[in-house]
Structure 1
Amino acid sequence: MSLPRIILDCEALKDRDSGFSHFVVPLAHELIRQNQRYQLYCYVPPAEVGGLGRTGVRYLTQRSFHKYFNPPSYGFRLWHATSQLSWYVPTSPFTKVVLTVHDLNFLHQRPDERTYTRQLAMVRRNIKRADYLVTISDFVRQDILRHADLLGYTGRQPLRYVPRGVEALPALPAGHAPAYVPRRPFLFALGTVNPKKNFHVLPPLLQGNEYELIIAGSFTEGDYVAAIRAAAEQAGVADRVRVLIRISEADKAWYIGQCLAYLQPSLAEGFGLPVVEAMQLGKPAFLSRLTSLPEVGRAAAYYFDDFAPAHMQQVLAAGLARHSPARAAAAQAQAGQFSWQQAAHGYLAVYQELLGR
């Protein structure tokens, strides 16, 4: 008897630098490695056919009209939609759907009305179609329950938290250095440079010391970059603040490895991938207490209770003074809980629960 056919939505590979791609690629590789029960297909943009290997996996090519009518979906027992904002779900009513929900950030840091309305409609549509909901943090699971009426979640589908994995940072080539090498000890922050990340509260941390601040992102909003620079001017530290765009993975690893501390003052996060990457190296991570970040850092991180400059300066100074080899080891142990091996195992258990095999 042939094995059931299941499909993993890898449409995010259209941008290999995106956060969703950094979720999909390692998950796909680990599912391919562990899977023994199913014929596994990956749903990919045309240019990515074969991009995840040729052993243990087959491919279905994404077509734009699949957003509205998806004939190939009738050939699959299960479709794993890997984002709450995915356009691509089966039109076949016989295909089971697992939906991964990364965040509901638009509810916490409300965008413009048009974006809010569009994202809410997309999330409601995908939740309605799903047979099983999986979240990447327990905070997001609780968030769905808190906003169940708004999201159209009735409780008929199972709702489960499967911790996402985090890959180890790449080994650096001998002698590697980024284009910009700080001349002083520096603080590092990483993420899409937009108001949700709250980076503009960071420049006052440079007052009273000689540190630099490096903020790097794969995407930036010009108005918000201007707000960061204005905050740096107001704090009198404009010459020590750098905003970098689309740094390479090697440069990211260099900055995390060399930084004095990692900073994530976000107003909303579904998980917080760079936090774990920094803790993998035992770095002190300074985080906001909002949304999922306390769940990710737990007692191994340091926290800003508010964003007043004096308070943040005190937390930074105290945390740097407190950080020790034992604290670094605790950070590494906390980071070690987020493995792709465990994530893939969790998803395979979900597939089995839905398909009964």
Structure 2
Amino acid sequence: MHIGFDISQTGVGKAGCGYFADAMAGAMISIAPQHRFSLYSSFGDSFFDYRMPVFNPYHASNTHYGPRHLTREAARKFWSRDELEAKLSNPDIIHSNNFWLPTQITSSRLIYTLYDLGFVIDPSWSTERNRLRCFDGLFKSSLVADWIVAISEYSRASYLKTFPHFPNDRIRVVYPCSRFTDTTRSGTRPDKIPHLGNAEFWLSVGTIEPRKNQRLLVKAYAEYLASGGRPMPLVLAGGMGWMMKDFSQYVGDLGIADKVILLGYVSDDEMIWLYRNCYAHLYPSVFEGFGLPVLEGMQFGAPTLCSNTTSLPEVAGDAAMLVSPASVGDWVNSMRAIADSTGTRQTYAAAARQRAGKFDRNRSATAVLDIYREAVRVPKRINSFQTSTLQSHLA
């Protein structure tokens, strides 16, 4: 097969969507050298990074790159043209990983990665621009995608509830995997915390944004300290996202600014050290399509407390302490429970490593390749006439 694969979010500063695409691209190229892979560092214009693919190359004899664009306007012009498939050398598969997808495809099979519908569930978790961009791609996928790759059963069910016209036999769950392939690495301690050692800090990983629920977490942490909890600092690792510009002030108002350490975006090597050395990993997110930091922390034996909602129980199973993301008191009690018992902490650390072993990148990549093979065996969901008619309505 000739497989066209969107890697537009896999560059410097990538987050969950980029990690999924990066892992699948690398694994598929490795385990299926008989196929030809075209990697699209530019894919539509909704997500654009002119540095791609220079900063994240994939090296293999069966791999080459699709068009590279230096401006958003050039990308928009290329990806909106009618003869797109011919310009892409008529791939058998075109796989979207960044919410956008082309609607003018008449022959190639369109595969669409479904991450989550958080922007539909609660508009306050995102900006208006991002909501419109994501929903536009999501809605179009329900009309023209041949197959949907959902990253959790929760996301799959949410999609079918939102778009009941999509055939449920063409949406399949493929779990993401950790970006880290070597669990023996020790990692590197971030320069901002030279004074912290093993099991001397709480850790929370994730972009600072409303749905990640860091406001509730720091409030719970303040109450934990006030209740006499073991005075370990709270380390937050993740870039500052939207709608949280006042977060530092919020922490200060709680009187814990000297005990909360904001690392910002950290390197992979630093992340490994944090996971490996934290006392426990706290993940209070209100909504997740999957919850990759939970899996990655477990991989390095981080005892884990995470929310009991959306997809997170699928990831954590019974290997984490599941806590309501709406209850400050429940988080305080759970933190006290694990802080007051090293035996409990060790039990969760062992369970975490075992649970993480169930998520394997080659297994996931094989599942994606199986979808591709099935997609090319059966007719497209909509034919050429329907495609042209739909295009005229969407234009």
Shorter-chain TM band: 0.7 to 0.9
TM, length-normalised to structure 1: 0.88
Match of 1:165 in 2: 177
Match of 2:19 in 1: 22
- Kept after mapping to 2: 8 A contact 1:288/1:304: yes
Match of 2:107 in 1: 94
Amino acid across the alignment from 1:58: H
Match of 1:294 in 2: 313
- Deviation at residue 78 of structure 1 after TM alignment: 1.3
Amino acid across the alignment from 2:201: F
Instruction: Report which stretch shifted further, 178-187 or 256-265.
Output: 178-187
Q: Any idea what SS the aligned residue of 2:9 has? A: helix
- Kept after mapping to 1: 8 A contact 2:303/2:346: no
Q: How does 1:1-357 map to 2 (within 5 A)?
A: 4-45=1-42, 47-48=52-53, 51-63=57-69, 64=75, 65-69=77-81, 70=84, 71-73=86-88, 75-83=90-98, 85-86=99-100, 88-89=101-102, 91-110=104-123, 111-149=126-164, 153-155=165-167, 158-168=170-180, 176-181=188-193, 183=195, 185-203=200-218, 204-205=220-221, 206-207=224-225, 208=228, 209-221=230-242, 224-227=244-247, 229-234=249-254, 236-320=255-339, 321=341, 323-356=344-377
C-alpha distance in 2, partners of 1:159/1:171?
Answer: 32
- Kept after mapping to 2: 8 A contact 1:11/1:62: no
C-alpha distance in 2, partners of 1:54/1:76?
Answer: 18
Q: Any idea what SS the aligned residue of 1:347 has? A: helix
C-alpha distance in 2, partners of 1:253/1:7?
Answer: 32
TM, length-normalised to structure 2: 0.80
Structure 1, residues 119-172: CA drift from partner, whole Å, max 9, x if none? 2222101332210111011110111122125xxx43276111011121336679
- Kept after mapping to 2: 8 A contact 1:193/1:217: yes
Amino acid across the alignment from 2:57: G
Rate the CA distance shift 1:163–1:187 in 2: closer, same or farther, 3 A: same
Number of residues paired by the alignment? 347
Rate the CA distance shift 1:148–1:267 in 2: closer, same or farther, 3 A: same
- Kept after mapping to 1: 8 A contact 2:175/2:364: yes
C-alpha distance in 2, partners of 1:12/1:279?
Answer: 24
Q: Any idea what SS the aligned residue of 1:11 has? A: coil
Amino acid across the alignment from 2:158: D
C-alpha distance in 1, partners of 2:121/2:360?
Answer: 27
User: Structure 1 unaligned runs (5+)?
Assistant: none
Structure 1, residues 239-259: CA drift from partner, whole Å, max 9, x if none? 101222221111111111111
C-alpha distance in 1, partners of 2:132/2:52?
Answer: 32
Q: Any idea what SS the aligned residue of 1:299 has? A: coil
- Kept after mapping to 2: 8 A contact 1:220/1:245: no
- Kept after mapping to 2: 8 A contact 1:74/1:90: no
Amino acid across the alignment from 2:143: K
- Kept after mapping to 2: 8 A contact 1:165/1:341: no
Query: RMSD over aligned Cα, in angstroms?
Result: 2.6
Amino acid across the alignment from 2:348: R
- Kept after mapping to 2: 8 A contact 1:97/1:130: yes
Q: Any idea what SS the aligned residue of 1:224 has? A: coil
- Kept after mapping to 1: 8 A contact 2:238/2:265: yes
- Deviation at residue 297 of structure 1 after TM alignment: 0.6
Instruction: Report which stretch shifted further, 156-165 or 343-352.
Output: 156-165
Instruction: Report which stretch shifted further, 137-146 or 13-22.
Output: 13-22
C-alpha distance in 2, partners of 1:225/1:186?
Answer: 25
Q: Any idea what SS the aligned residue of 1:300 has? A: coil
Rate the CA distance shift 1:176–1:118 in 2: closer, same or farther, 3 A: closer
Match of 2:48 in 1: none
Amino acid across the alignment from 2:301: G
